[in-house]
């Protein structure tokens, strides 16, 4: 019997590992990637417009430079800044526009966007901007941050997407 003792113990250990794998591994695949807590939210304060040829030329002139969202919107649509809370301008001063890689001519109406979250006692306020195709614009937020649609401010400037661009 001593002779087979190690074989029996090895078989029991292997069987225990298989049982543990059957019990614990499948639940790992059921959770994870699909547990996105974010929901679609529509900003209560939302300014939308199509980019004009002049505004596109302005973007080309600013392309790749270190500019804040306030400076970008001041150059593209200054009237919208006058309608927003002063806090938006202050909050955006610490942010920088993140340009897509490449030159302006390579842009192909990709997305240029950003936003800042400002916490308050009564909840979080978000100030955001979006340049790109309206087809690709989505606004998803995690409600656990205390953000509500009436505390969301967004400026969206739309471009045409050339045919064949995903």
> Which pLDDT tens digit goes with each residue over 55-103?
999 999 999 999 999 999 999 999 999 999 999 999 999 899 999 988 8
Per-residue confidence (pLDDT) for residue 72, from 0 to 100: 97
The single-letter DSSP state of residue 130 is E
The pLDDT-based confidence of 23 (bands split at 50, 70, 90) is low
Contacts of 158 (CB under 8 A, 6+ apart): 48, 49, 50, 51, 131, 132, 133, 134
- pLDDT for residue 123 is more than 70: yes
Residue 22 vs residue 133, higher pLDDT: 133
CA 119 to CA 78: how far, in whole Å? 25
CA 43 to CA 25: how far, in whole Å? 41
The pLDDT-based confidence of 164 (bands split at 50, 70, 90) is very low
User: Structural domain boundaries of the chain?
Assistant: 1-33, 39-158
What does the mean pLDDT of the chain come to? 84
What burial letters (b/e) apply to 74-101, b meaning 16+ CB within 10 Å? eebbeebbeebeeebbebbeebebebee
């Amino acid at each position: 019997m001593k002779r087979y003792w190690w074989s029996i113990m090895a078989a029991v250990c292997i069987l225990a590992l298989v049982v543990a794998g059957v019990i614990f591994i499948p639940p790992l695949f059921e959770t994870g990637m699909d547990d996105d807590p974010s929901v679609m939210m529509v900003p209560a304060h939302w300014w939308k417009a199509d980019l004009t040829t002049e505004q596109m030329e302005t973007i080309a002139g600013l392309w790749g430079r270190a500019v804040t969202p306030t400076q970008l919107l001041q150059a593209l649509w200054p009237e919208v800044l006058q309608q927003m809370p002063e806090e938006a301008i202050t909050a955006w001063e610490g942010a920088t526009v993140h340009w897509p890689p490449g030159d302006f001519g390579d842009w192909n109406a990709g997305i240029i966007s950003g936003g800042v979250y400002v916490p308050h006692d009564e909840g979080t306020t978000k100030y955001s901007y979006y340049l790109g195709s309206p087809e690709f614009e989505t606004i998803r937020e995690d409600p656990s941050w205390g953000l509500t649609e009436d505390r969301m401010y967004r400026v969206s400037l739309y471009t045409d997407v050339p045919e064949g661009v995903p």
